[in-house]
Structure 1
Amino acid sequence: MALTIEQMVDAVVKRITITELGNTALHPEKAAQLIRELEVSTPMLGPTRRLDMKSDKRDIDRVGFAARLMNVAPAEGETIVTDTEPVFTSNQLSVVKAVGVVELGDEALEDNIEREGFEDTLIAMIGGQAGIDLEELYINGDTGSGDPYLALIDGWNKLAGTQLTGVASADFDPTLVEGMFEAMLVDLITNNPVFLRLRAQMKFWTSWKAENDYREVLRQRGTDLGDSVQTANRPLAYKGIPVIPVFNMPAGDTLMAHDDNLVYGIRRDIRLEPDRLPRSGRTDFVVTFRTDANYEQELALSMPSGTPASREEQAP
């Protein structure tokens, strides 16, 4: 006797989940697979720092020194003189629930559910889109937003400790994309030089528009570099710092930060539950993440706003 769709869905869910205290969560192996799908789905989630969370809160600890550690060696019999002590501070991750739904019609389920690897296909479908959506939340989250999803948390752009603006050319000329990059670099050099030791790890996480504007500036210079950025998908850099386009970055925003400073956390118990809707002829797979984003050190970066626009006068 052939299985009903309900029975087939139930069998699939039982193979990839575990049930504890009445809650259905992905099996740890499948949860790890889903996380891998998240990380490859967007430019930022793979390189930045993910923390696995066992509870709803986790500190992002940092230890530093307020002044010079080393000093002149004392004479024999004298005590060592030190002017500094370790400073222990932290930011915190405090998770919120984010829910997503994958809708599969009955025909699609019947055609695929018994095929080898269907569970992996389902995990890949969820991970690919969930990664894009979570990256959007981590970047653009703002508890004052009119978008209920983005209002779940304050994200990286909102939490950045250094905020520059191109409005009325206050910090840089908003028509010059190179001026925006330079303003961010100069701000770090001027106001937070201690973080210059991380320059080799820094990146400009920018919008596709700003990256395209910068590519246009280089094209107009009539050099071999200008030709190559026009005809090939060549990665860009400004003064040696990679310029990485991010689909979810708003057109007027850019983050200058090193990867490990951008932190997000996901609780290990990722829930996946089917919701059968026979009248609609489909089954919804509901996935629930508990997650948050923050910085290790919010001063070790710059975040400008103000949309650079391509102009002929950008090229020298």
Structure 2
Amino acid sequence: MSNQQIIEKATMTLASLQTGGLMNPTQASKFIRMLQETPTILKDSRVIPMDHDTQKIEKIGFGQRILRPGQEDVALTKEQRAVPTTSTVNLNAKEVIAEINITYDTLENNIEGQSLKDTLMQQIVERAAVDIEELLVNGDKDSNDPFLAQINGMRKNTKSHIVDAELQPISRGLFKRGYKAIPAKYIRVPQDYRFYTSPGNQIEWMDSVADRQTGLGDSAVQGGRSSAFGVPVTGIANMQPYEHSDGETDVSEIILTHPKNIITGFSRNIRIEVDKDIRARKFIIVLTAKLDSVYEEEDAVSKIINVKEM
């Protein structure tokens, strides 16, 4: 196949990526599902397709006992009747954009026939999922990084239950403090929760567990999932260490929450558009999406700060 034929084939193949603007609901849902299938925190969180850029999520629940002693022929008084607590969570999607440039030379050297479109889409989704995870974890409206300043992420949104490790390394005692910081009414099934931390802290904890002369220690050495007080400890690539105010480096955090307590909203206004620059001899693929992330119940989250990585 000649170079010209390759370019012509690529033109037709890439053109099929283009949605002509907005993706239709089916295309948008498929794109979101592909993002969710990528092994990032998106896979764990509760993903909600948003019909508009802003959306309210209604919450309803009972924060106290609803059962009363029963007595035949006697109805409950007004004071004894249970009244649910209601509130709302607001999602305000912010736009993110990616531009991918593919030169003719790259296509000529890496043509994949009919699979070119699928390969490119998969690579775009995989990279976008990693970037979105970075925003969901490290988003901070006060950040100097324009990308991270779009929204407040998990680290910034955790405010109610903070445990200061005071530069102590990861330990059973720190996990216990983080666990006990959350009101007991929330943690009904510990194994459904997650301690999210940096990959370095996860390895340190696995190494600590591996020192035990037990089957659990053997499992940790072989890469099995380690846990603390019944809660799995999960490393997040984008939860990287930072420099402490006193100059100490390699300091990180641990966040305890139920994965489905992390709500990620995606507006259905997702676009993939393709153009060709014949002067620069390249194809241009532009992806735009809108998203936001909040905790459904921030009171059910704790954060251990200033954890020193060994």
Q: Which TM-score band applies after superposition, normalised by the shorter structure?
A: 0.7 to 0.9
Shift of 1:233: 1.5
Number of corresponding residues: 297
Structure 2 letter corresponding to 1:175: P
Q: Which residue of 1 aligns with 2:66?
A: 69
Query: 1:142: Cα distance to partner?
Result: 0.3
- In 1, Cα distance between the equivalents of 2:292 and 2:75? 50
Per-residue CA deviations over 1:15-57 (Å, capped at 9, x if unaligned) read 34433xxxx1335444344323322323311121000011011
TM score, norm. by length of structure 2: 0.86
C-alpha separation in 2, matches of 1:227 and 1:75 = 59
Question: Percent identity between the aligned chains?
Answer: 25
Change (3 A) 1:196 1:4: closer
Change (3 A) 1:203 1:66: closer
Aligned pairs (5 A) from 1:1-316: 5=7, 11-19=12-20, 24-76=21-73, 78-81=75-78, 82-110=80-108, 115-166=113-164, 169=166, 174-188=168-182, 192-230=183-221, 232-251=222-241, 252-310=252-310
Task: Tell me the secondary structure at the aligned position of residue 299 of structure 1.
Answer: helix
Q: CA deviation at 1:256?
A: 0.8
Between 102-111 and 43-52, the greater mean CA deviation after superposition: 102-111
The CA distance in 1 between the partners of 2:206 and 2:65, in whole Å, is 42
Structure 1 residues 276 and 152: alpha-carbon distance in aligned structure 2, compared to 1, 3 A threshold: same
Structure 2, unmatched stretches of 5+, are 242-251
3-state DSSP of counterpart to 1:218: helix
Shift of residue 88 of structure 1? 1.1
Q: Is the 8 A contact 1:13 1:273 kept in 2?
A: no
Q: Return closer, same or farther for 1:4/1:118 CA change in 2, 3 Å cut-off.
A: closer
Query: Which AA in structure 1 matches 2:59?
Result: R
Specify the code of the residue in structure 2 equivalent to 1:233. G
Answer whether contact 1:66 1:84 (CA < 8 A) is retained. Answer: no
CA-based RMSD of the aligned residues comes to: 2.5
SS in 2 for 1:107: helix
CA contact (8 A) 1:34 1:123 kept: no
Provide the rounded CA distance (Å) in 1 between the counterparts of 2:70 and 2:219.
Answer: 55
Paired position in structure 1 for 2:245: none
Q: Deviations over 1:241-284 (max 9, x none)?
A: 11111101133122211121011011123111224344443222
What's the offset of the Cα at 1:208? Answer: 0.4
User: Under a length normalisation based on structure 1, what TM-score does the superposition of the two structures give?
Assistant: 0.84
Maintained 8 Å contact 1:48/1:260: yes
Structure 1, gaps ≥5 residues long = 311-316
Shift of 1:306: 1.0
